[in-house]
């Protein structure tokens, strides 16, 4: 049976929004942009170049999960950093059958992509803290790893192959 929920996760600049949106479109599902569910204070912190702490993230993750359950369409494809194991466990608990796509690339490449990105509150300076917080999901149930150092069409094609 097709998975009802997909989490596209990784550090800032790994391509979560881009890949999740493309995947949702190809699967005929709904797309949820995790960033839309941050409390305003979180956006302010990140805009000031300050990393979020666990306490800032829990209410956000709960809001993302709730938004996903409110959507009627399936599958629901969610772009959300979900950097730590505990964050993913919260999402798994609330979104049964959740499949995870982990977008992986090195800091230098992602730094360059963030530097080139315009009009976004999240700047490349926070990348170091993102990698420091990252607990790769490798070995957790229902996880696939995508090498996103490749050009976008190849990444999307690989994501579609995984999603069937």
Ligand X SMILES: Nc1ncnc2c1ncn2[C@@H]1O[C@H](COP(=O)(O)OP(=O)(O)OP(=O)(O)O)[C@@H](O)[C@H]1O
Ligand Y SMILES: O=C(O)[C@H](O)[C@@H](O)[C@H](O)[C@H](O)CO
Strands in 76-79's sheet, in edge-to-edge order, are: 30-33, 76-79, 5-9, 99-104, 143-147
From ligand X, ligand Y, none, interface partner of 14 (C-beta below 5 to 8 A by class): ligand X
Find the radius of gyration of the CA atoms of the chain.
15
By CB under 6 A, residue 151 contacts ligand X: yes
Contacts of 88 by beta carbon, 8 Å cutoff, 6+ apart: 7, 9, 82, 100, 137, 140
Structure-block tokens of residue 34:
């995790």
Q: Which two tokens stand for residue 56?
A: 């800032």
Q: How many residues bind ligand X (CB under 6 A)?
A: 18
Smallest gap from Cβ 81 to ligand X, in A, equals 6
Host H or E run for residue 61: helix 54-70
Candidate residues 32, 81, 104, 127; the one interacting with ligand Y per rule CB under 6 A: 81
Q: Which of 90, 105, 114, 122 binds ligand Y (CB under 6 A)?
A: 122
Examine residue 52 and tell whether it contacts ligand Y (CB under 6 A).
yes
Residues that bind ligand Y (CB under 6 A): 12, 34-35, 52, 57, 81, 83, 122
Residues that bind ligand X (CB under 6 A): 10, 12-18, 35, 79, 81, 113, 117, 122, 148, 151-152, 155
């Amino acid at each position: 049976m097709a998975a009802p929920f997909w989490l596209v996760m990784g550090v800032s600049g790994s391509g979560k929004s881009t890949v999740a949106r493309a995947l949702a479109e190809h699967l005929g599902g709904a797309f949820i942009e995790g960033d839309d569910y941050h409390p305003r204070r979180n956006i302010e912190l990140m805009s000031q170049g300050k990393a979020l702490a666990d306490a800032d993230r829990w209410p956000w993750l709960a809001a993302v999960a709730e938004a996903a359950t409110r959507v009627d369409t399936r599958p629901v494809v969610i772009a959300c950093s979900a950097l730590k194991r505990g964050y993913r466990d919260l999402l798994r608990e609330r979104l049964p059958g959740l499949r995870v796509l982990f977008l992986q690339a090195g800091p230098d490449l992602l730094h360059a992509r963030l530097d080139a990105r315009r009009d976004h509150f999240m700047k490349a300076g926070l990348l170091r803290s993102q990698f420091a917080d990252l607990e790769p999901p490798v070995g957790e149930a229902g996880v696939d790893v995508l090498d996103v150092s490749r050009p976008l069409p190849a990444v999307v094609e690989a994501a579609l192959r995984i999603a069937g």
